[in-house]
Each structure stands twice: as C-alpha cells, then as structure tokens.
Amino acid sequence: MLNLIKYEFIKKSRLLLITAVASLAANILLILNNESGSILFISLFPIVVGILYTVDILKMYSDDLNKKSGYMLFMTPNSGYKIIVSKLFTAVIEGFAILFTYFIYILINGSYIIYKSGNMIKINEIIVVVNKLISGNFGLNLGHIFMFLITALLFLISFLTTAYTAMTIRKSIFSEIKFGGALSFLIFLLLNWLLSTISSELFDLLPTYYSSFASYPTASELVYILLPINIVSIVQIIVLTLCSGYLLEHKINL
C-alpha cells in the first residue's frame, strides 16, 4: 500500500513542484501589483487549486485505466482494492497538504499585512489580523473557513470516487462498447442521480442542527450543522471505493 502511494506521488511530483512555484509567484505578483493582493490571493487560492486538484486526480485515474502505464500498474501483485484505496489515500493526503499550504499562505500574507501597517509581527496577531479582514469582507472567521474547506474536501473526494466508479464501470462491465468517454459521463450522471436520491433519504434519518443555533453560528456550532453532510460524504466514499475495488479486482478489462 505504501509503495503504491509513493508511486502515485512520484508520478505527480513534477506537477506538484510546478504548482507550488506558480502559486508562490502569483502571491508575490499580487502583493507587488495591488495593495489588497494578499486578500485576493487568500480568496482565490482554494478555488484555483481545488479545480487543478480535481482535474489532476481524474486525469491520472483515467490514464491508468486507458494507457499502457496503467496496464503495468494493474499487472502488479496488488489487488484492485489496494490500488483504489491507495489512490484514495493519495487524494486525501494531497488534499490535507493543500489545506496546510493554505494555512502557511495565510500566515505569510498576514505577516505582510502587519508589516505594511508598521507594526511588529507576532504569530498570534497574524491570526487576529486575518480574522478581522475576513470578518469585515465576508462576515466569517478562519474557523468558519476551515470547516467549510474540510467539508468541501470531503464532498470533493466523494465526487472523485463517483467519477472513479463511473470510469471503472465503463472499463469493466461496458468495456466492449465504443464512445467510452461519453458512456463514462452518462454513467457518472446516473450515479449522481442515484446517490442524490439515497443521500436525501439519509439526511432524513440524521439529526439536523440548523434550528438550534443563531443565524450566524460560531465555528464550533458550524461543526454540528455540517455534520450530516460530512457523514453522508464519508459513507459515499467508503461504499464507492469498495465498489470500484471489486470491479478492478474481478471485472476489469484492460
């Protein structure tokens, strides 16, 4: 399992390096060209990187299923379950690495804002300053943002497992049918419709906390509000990962 995860990161090491250098360069350029460049970067970073993250993970799995490099991967003495779980763990590790990088950028840009205001830089003041700026512009604080980001990450990974399952179904059960890309997309839409129907039933079974808090909940209250969504995302990730693993193990046709 560890070797598979290491292999995944080796394959994307060049892309990760380019993305890291490009994001740092973008941050510096925004700061130099605009007084509010720090806030603009903090706002745009999770959106842009989130899109790149999604496209990269889907493309890598599609390449593994449809190119010769993937054929070699599936010929290794690893079960389909190990392969799909290693890809899932890679996505989770990469996602949390992005969140950690985002936190570092918040510290860096917060330090710059304090420096430009002529004050001494202290770690606790950086968080306070960024909190005030975000609260003033968006009515939120860092606690809210990180809860939203964790929920978004879980939702994104559940989205990725849905796409994984759609591509795996196409490559296993419907491997002899032409127009594979269009068929994968159609299966993806059908899976999403089915999952949304099941999810709505699960939401009815789970307790909700929306009416228990004020109209502007604190970050700790937001944890309870987002709990049903996160539980459904985790259940979906587990079920679809097992389905993809089974198909890779028993039905895959390379």
Distance CA 116, CA 170 (A): 55
Cβ partners under 8 Å of residue 67, min gap 6:
none
Q: Is the pLDDT of residue 205 over 70?
A: no
> What percentage of the chain has pLDDT greater than the value 70?
80
Distance CA 156, CA 167 (A): 17
pTM of the model: 0.76
> Where are the alpha helices (H) located in 122-253, listed in sequence order?
123-138, 142-172, 180-205, 219-250
The model's pLDDT over 148-186, given as tens digits with 9 standing for 90+, comes to 888 888 888 888 899 888 888 888 777 777 766 677 778
The model's pLDDT over 217-232, given as tens digits with 9 standing for 90+, comes to 776 777 777 888 888 8
